[in-house]
Amino acid sequence: MAFSVRLEGLDKRFGRGAREVHAVRDLSLEIGEREFFTFVGPSGCGKTTTLRMIAGLETPTAGRIWFGDTDVTALPPQQRDIAMVFQDIALFPYMTVRQNIGYPLRIAGLPRVRIDEKVEKVAATLGLSDKLAMKPGQLSGGQQQRVAIGRAIIKEPKVLLMDEPLSALDARLRVEMRTEILRLHREISSTIIYVTHDQVEAMTMSTRVAVMDQGRALQVDPPRVIFRRPADITVATFIGTPAMNIIPAVVVTTPAGLAIELLGRSIPVSARYHAALQGLKRVEVGLRPQAVRLMPPAPDLITGRVFLREPLGLEDEVLVETADGTRVKSVTAAGDEFPEKTVVGLEVSPRDIHLFSSDSRLALCYGIQ
């Protein structure tokens, strides 16, 4: 049986006085049994510190950590029934692959025969059967990471912690290992807590994601919700490639009701969002580049000039500069249409216009239709 993991007002400060770093601020969340839960955020956001506190490698300054019904806050890592995969892989260089994978069982005092049996089984699932006699130094980066994962899963931990396990690998291997880790999650019964700065890893692998910034969890939701309904501007711009356009707009009152004035165009806001915009003069408009379509210029469209066009293969990233100097990014089908310096119209569906508060940066509404 796996554990659920509950963080309660978790707080961590490093250092003292002027050099104090407040790494994690009052973090509370619950991770369900057998969930694949990911902490994602830029470096220094507190995600690794949080993971290390769950592992018992750091002591929280305040707050509690619960595994199921047990308060583990004061327990050392050895007594937590966890396993961890490290960013720098951290294999024991003087041990063979067999000894590395079997190490947790050796510590647990299992007889040699049982250890060998289990090591061979784990090695087979990870495709390492012919590597057991080798030392880590003789393996490729991907194989090393497999060994590290093998060492972590062999004692079937209740909670499996992974700290940026793929960041040391090259791009192709990273994609391969992603599939592998997902397969593992289906096969083993551990709750997996994963830390990454790579939003693609977070979005593709997790059942739920916590987006962190400056020690706080900005949003905790399934990946799809985070993409479609980002809680604030930071989440909105961090998740999704290329980053969401954030453009200032003005709220105006028209005979037909409220509207926003975006880059010289007035776009009506559906009556059901009027309450959210009550009393606001300025808002930030969030627009995914995929939702900005390039058209021939027309009177009812936002107009601009193509500033930069970057081919990405199937699609091109196009940066358009409007009359007031605002730059809007669009992702469009690859082609020769609208080369650099041509004047274009930008078509945007009101469904794709997200509004954020200029002060609190929190989301006001998703789509204004």
Partner 1 sequence: MSRLQRSGPLALLLVVLVLVAFPFYWMLLTSVTPREALFKPPYRLFRLDFSLGNYRELLFATEFARYFANSLIAAVGAIVLNVIAATLAGYGLTRFAFPGKKTFAFGTLFSYMFPPMLMAIPLYILFSALQMRNTYTGLILAHMAISLPLNIWLMWQYFQIVPLSLEEAAWTSGASRLAALRQVCLPSARPGILSVAIFSFALSWNDFTFAFILQTDRKMFTLPVGLASFVEQTGVHWGMVMAAAVLVSVPTFLLVFFLQRYLLSGLRTAG
Task: Note the residues at the interface with partner 1 (CB under 8 A).
Answer: 55-57, 76-78, 82-84, 86-88, 90-94, 103-104, 107-108, 148, 151, 155, 161
Question: CA 309, CA 289: separation in Å to the nearest integer?
Answer: 13
Supply the minimum distance, in Å, between the C-beta of residue 92 and partner 1: 6
- SS3 of 101-137: the string is HHHHHHHHCCCHHHHHHHHHHHHHHCCCHHHCCCCHH
Of 73 and 204, which CB lies nearer to partner 1 in the complex structure?
73
Peptide bond preceding 242 in cis form (omega within 30 of 0): yes
Q: From the CB of 357, what's the least distance to partner 1, in Å?
A: 42
For residues 83 and 263, which CB has a smaller minimum distance to partner 1 in the complex?
A: 83
**C-beta closer to partner 1: residue 61 or 290:** 61
Closer residue to partner 1 in complex, CB, 20/92: 92
Min separation Cβ 38 and partner 1, Å? 19
Query: b/e string for 328-360 if b means 16 or more Cβ within 10 A?
Result: bbbbbeeeeebeeeeebbbebeeebbbbbbeee
Name the residue among 259, 210, 234 with its Cα closest to residue 356. 234
Q: Which residue has the tokens 């993991």?
A: 5
As a whole number of angstroms, the distance between CA 215 and CA 53 comes to: 13
Would you say 85 or 205 has its CB closer to partner 1? 85
Question: Please, what is the minimum distance in Å from the beta carbon of residue 87 to partner 1?
Answer: 8
Q: Let me know: does 247 contact 346? Beta carbons within 8 Å.
A: no
Name the minimum Å distance from CB 95 to partner 1: 8
